[in-house]
Structure 1
Amino acid sequence: MVSEQRTFTTGSEPEQASRISRRGFLGRAAALGLGTTALAGILNSCGTTAFGAGKTHITYWHLLGGGDGERMLEMVQQFQHNHPEVDLEAVTLSWGTPYYTKLAMAAAGGRPPDVGILHMSRLPMYAGSGLLEPFDTSALSNNGITQDNFVDPVWQKAHYNGKLYAVPLDTHPLVMYYSTDVCQKAGLLDSNGKLQEFKGEDDVLKAFSEAKKASGGLGLAMGVGDPSTCWRVFCALYAQLNGQYFSADGTQLTFEDDKAEQVLAYISKLAKEVGSTNIDYAGAIALFSGGKAGFHWNGEWEVTTFQTQKMKFDMTLFPNVFGGQQTWADSHSLVLPRQGTVDPERRAMSIKFVSELLKSSYIWAQGGHIPTYLPVATSSEYKQLAPQSHYAAEASNVVYDPPVWFAGAASELENQAGAAFQSVITQQKTPKQGIQQFRAAMLKQLQTPKPF
């Protein structure tokens, strides 16, 4: 038996959270911009369904489509095959704001799924608003999941106020792709066909310049027309300068203009001299896959795109430009949305489900994401997976979005920061003007109350 897979497309401290009334539920939605029709659909779709007699029924929500969705379905079906005593209902929702809105509303209403996917960058908002329940670490341990199974930076990020609120499934960082054909022609490969090391502002620019000559197109294909890409690249390089965003309590803006200006000036220089100032996300991918660019900066999730196109390429760590190996990253993590009433049997099976997804994450790793579960990440099977294993060390260098409630995947911080920095990289504004735009947007967000 396989799990039921459904697909939908939809437009305080944890201890203080509880089931709220329908009126309260609707009232809290205003800050998230949902109308009553959409909310009614949320309320009506969160009920339980009669499943197999004598079986434990658990529900699982995620936002994974495309290749990620196919691999997740394979992992879910593997769990169901191993546990015929479970009725597992897996529901796929639209990526981004629609998913996160629905998950928040369902948890606030006390009728969420048993298990959900959450980008780790969203954890401060959801855990801090009482929308998640912490994991019982002893129950995880009984299923073979312990702290020493993870690299420390990712494990620590999964905590909020000292409690474990997420179990990270992967790390998906910004990495560097390179065309082996172009780089060979440019003299950038060693005798083993691997990219020679280069670091520092001048050396990176020089390598990209040589690749530009060899490709007859661009040295670096970077989707500067995509605000999310602009944010990720900025975040990586700003982290290499140890740049700060907010105070530890998330109430004050501590952004360092001089460091930000240095980063934006450098990215703008790359775009102008070895890249393009108007290329979008899809265009960058097309140029790189077509052999018209030597390098490509993007998340590792595009690996299967280039494999499918059978191009000759490899992947490596995001370069050390400003004296550090830091890079932007996020993680898909597994969470327990807050229930109105916890059923012990369903909770126990939910934790088993979480643990077995981790243990089968070699399937997940084939799509490019670095598995966080070390028994998989250090296995000979994963080490032989190329080029996915070539940037595995990046898991120790990751920098997540700032831990404020309005940060994270598809968040207002990403949208506002990406737009401000994009305007600089595309030569529409000076670095100072872009920084002013970002500052104004962040100060406005700091004055905006949390929606829960």
Structure 2
Amino acid sequence: MRKRPPRSVPGGGLGRAPLSRRGLLGAGALTATGLSLTGCSTPLGAGLLGSQLAPETVLYWNLFGGGDGVRMQDMQKGYQDLYGADSLQATTLTWGNPYYSKLTLATVGNQPPDVAVSHLTRAKPLWAGGILDPITEEDLAGVGLTTADFSTKAWDEQVTDGQNIAIPLDTHPFTLFYNKEVCEKAGLLDSDGLLIDLTGKDVFESALAEISAVTGGTAVTLANVAETATPWRFFWSMYNQLDTATPFLADDGATLSVDEESFLQIMQTTREWVEKGWLNAGLDYATSQTQMFTGKAGFYLQGEWEIATAQSIDGLDFGMAPIPQLYDKPAVQADSHTFVLPKKDRTPEQRTLAMQFIKTMLDQSLIWAEGGHVPAYQPTFTSKDFQSLEPQRYYADSADYAVYDDPAWYGGSGSTFEDTVGAQLALVQQGSLTPEQSLAAIRGQLEIYTSTPSPL
């Protein structure tokens, strides 16, 4: 077992400082939100509401469920195997807005975890609200890390106000899944059984027509019923391939700055694909997968994390590829899971302990990559083990041209922004709205957010 750096609490003693009036108010706010926690090897809420932890214990919050949750638990166990069963208290909270609200309230209440997971797009509003501590070059060097150890795109994206606010674990891009049996019949596979180059809108649309001829109907599926994130990810990928594209939001979310002509161009193409029968008019998340899995469609567009679902289907021969470049430049919507340090008083030893935990997680990035995510940690990305991982290696380079959501207090993955905009985009695909009506609805519904200062 490796030696852990000593950990002390300012003012002496073990564990957290006594709960202050501000902390009590924060804890009360957490209770009012209906806090639901699932712990890992520790009692419910231990360390959250003022109970003491061993001085060497890292208190860690994340939002991972499903296959990601299983892999993260494996990585957490890897840390405990090195440093002892009492070295970590890991707590998983509900994905999306509930998680970020609880993290904010806990930090305001002076009871934050030592390390937390944040989507990169959600870390920026947390930073703007004073919820995060910066990560210094000394912090990195103390555990043998440098900026060169990380994907340039993801690392540069997290730098805010000249400070490092997060340490990227991965990039998770929007991706094209393809049914090899269907695509082979459509003449779209090369001699290695991989999807041919589909660069260019005309080329891609020809491929959709060939697939449609094989399936007798749909060529590509995109979830858009009771699902808002997927329509947004598709739009943001296509829109940012245009040279005319501008940020959707500016001034930290106070201004709607989307280029109208570019918006209408992408949404009109979406409608044309539906009208030609190439793209589904309306499918929920699960059914959009099933269409490709069962050969009723050749392509399926979704985040790479659905690799685990595809791999679980007996007899399915599938591949994965980057979202093709249809317009002026390559671009794909993506986000990154990152590690952040919630704001709190820390001794140098406590900072080192938190960074040691993060470094150990990064060292296990291959486990994480098996779930589809592209490692941001370059020693893992460039390793023979990752570069031979299939189908991950075929879309991994899309992390280099990832496009993240614009910073806004109401934006980022799983946010009010994605729900609002994605719902209107879905209605265009369903044929309920014209592109012009969709844009007008987006303007109207976002006005309350663009005109409201950040509550953080």
Asked if these proteins are the same fold (TM beyond 0.5), I'd say yes
Structure 1 window deviating more from structure 2 (142-151 vs 116-125): it is 142-151
Name the % identity: 34
Alignment partner of 1:270 is 2:284: no
- Following superposition, the deviation at residue 217 of structure 1 comes to 4.0
| Mapped contact 1:220–1:296 kept (Cα < 8 A) | yes
| Pairs aligned (count) | 427
Aligned with 2:324 (options 310, 319, 326): 319
1:425 match: secondary structure: helix
Q: How does 1:252-291 map to 2 (within 5 A)?
A: 252-273=255-276, 274-291=278-295
Deviations 1:79-105 (A, max 9, x none): 111112852000111111221111110
- Following superposition, the deviation at residue 110 of structure 1 comes to 1.4
1:8 matched to which residue of 2?
A: none
2:152 matched to which residue of 1?
A: 152
Q: What is the alpha-carbon distance in structure 2 between the residues aligned to residue 182 and residue 380 of structure 1?
A: 31
1:240 match: secondary structure: coil
- Following superposition, the deviation at residue 198 of structure 1 comes to 1.6
| Mapped contact 2:97–2:414 kept (Cα < 8 A) | yes
1:46 matched to which residue of 2?
A: 48
Deviations 1:183-234 (A, max 9, x none): 1110011122111112222221110111122133421011122211111101
| Mapped contact 2:36–2:94 kept (Cα < 8 A) | no
Q: What is the alpha-carbon distance in structure 1 between the residues aligned to residue 252 and residue 302 of structure 2?
A: 31
Alignment partner of 1:297 is 2:301: yes
Aligned with 1:247 (options 240, 243, 250): 250
- Following superposition, the deviation at residue 37 of structure 1 comes to 6.2
Q: How does 1:186-225 map to 2 (within 5 A)?
A: 186-225=186-225
1:448 matched to which residue of 2?
A: 452
Say what the alpha-carbon RMSD is for the aligned residues. Answer: 2.3
The verdict on how the C-alpha distance between 1:93 and 1:37 changes in structure 2, with shifts beyond 3 A counting, is closer
TM-score, normalization by structure 1: 0.89
| Mapped contact 1:43–1:106 kept (Cα < 8 A) | no
What amino acid does structure 2 have at the position aligned with 1:332? H
Q: What is the alpha-carbon distance in structure 1 between the residues aligned to residue 271 and residue 21 of structure 2?
A: 49
Q: What is the alpha-carbon distance in structure 1 between the residues aligned to residue 176 and residue 217 of structure 2?
A: 18
Alignment partner of 1:386 is 2:390: yes
Alignment partner of 1:351 is 2:355: yes
Alignment partner of 1:329 is 2:330: no
1:395 matched to which residue of 2?
A: 399
2:219 match: secondary structure: strand
What amino acid does structure 2 have at the position aligned with 1:38? G
List runs of 5+ in structure 1 lacking aligned partners: 2-18
Deviations 1:383-408 (A, max 9, x none): 11100111010110100111122111
- Following superposition, the deviation at residue 276 of structure 1 comes to 1.1
Q: What is the alpha-carbon distance in structure 2 between the residues aligned to residue 352 and residue 177 of structure 1?
A: 36
1:404 matched to which residue of 2?
A: 408
Q: How does 1:98-113 map to 2 (within 5 A)?
A: 98-113=98-113
What amino acid does structure 2 have at the position aligned with 1:346? Q
2:300 match: secondary structure: strand
| Mapped contact 2:27–2:49 kept (Cα < 8 A) | no
1:38 match: secondary structure: coil
- Following superposition, the deviation at residue 136 of structure 1 comes to 2.2
Q: What is the alpha-carbon distance in structure 1 between the residues aligned to residue 312 and residue 36 of structure 2?
A: 41
The verdict on how the C-alpha distance between 1:409 and 1:254 changes in structure 2, with shifts beyond 3 A counting, is same
| Mapped contact 1:140–1:351 kept (Cα < 8 A) | yes
The verdict on how the C-alpha distance between 1:390 and 1:40 changes in structure 2, with shifts beyond 3 A counting, is closer
Deviations 1:164-198 (A, max 9, x none): 01001010000111111111110011122111112
Alignment partner of 1:419 is 2:423: yes
| Mapped contact 2:222–2:302 kept (Cα < 8 A) | yes
Deviations 1:342-400 (A, max 9, x none): 24333211101101111110000000000000110111100111001110101101001
Structure 1 window deviating more from structure 2 (440-449 vs 357-366): it is 440-449
